[in-house]
Amino acid sequence: DEPKIDNSTQEPMNCTNHTAYVQCLPAPNITCKDHLGVEKVFTGQEVGFYKPIACRNVNGYSYKVAVALSLFLGWLGADRFYLGYPALG
């Protein structure tokens, strides 16, 4: 499956430590054996495992806007105000 995307950040939901997990559904009639030796036949409807994918931890702020503010108005601290750090601005 594709990861569920957060509209405000455009990154996968549940992104922690630069990793998000996506459900993987094995094809029908696939038999897998787990670490205990127990075999399971999948129907294609149940989750077989979760695949880790890379993501950026973001908090709703636009990376491009923050960089532009830093480049053009960094001497005023505008980027820090934008990111929610007025004491540093």
pLDDT score of 41: 93
Nearest to 56 by CA among 17, 2, 7: 17
Which of residues 42 and 7 earns the better pLDDT score?
42
Domain ranges of the chain: 1-58, 61-89
Q: What pLDDT, in 10s, does the model give residues 42-89?
A: 998 999 889 998 887 666 677 788 889 999 988 888 888 888 777 776
pLDDT score of 52: 92
In the block, tokens 């880790």 appear at 52
What is the spatial distance between Cα 86 and Cα 67, in angstroms, rounded to a whole number? 17
pLDDT score of 54: 86
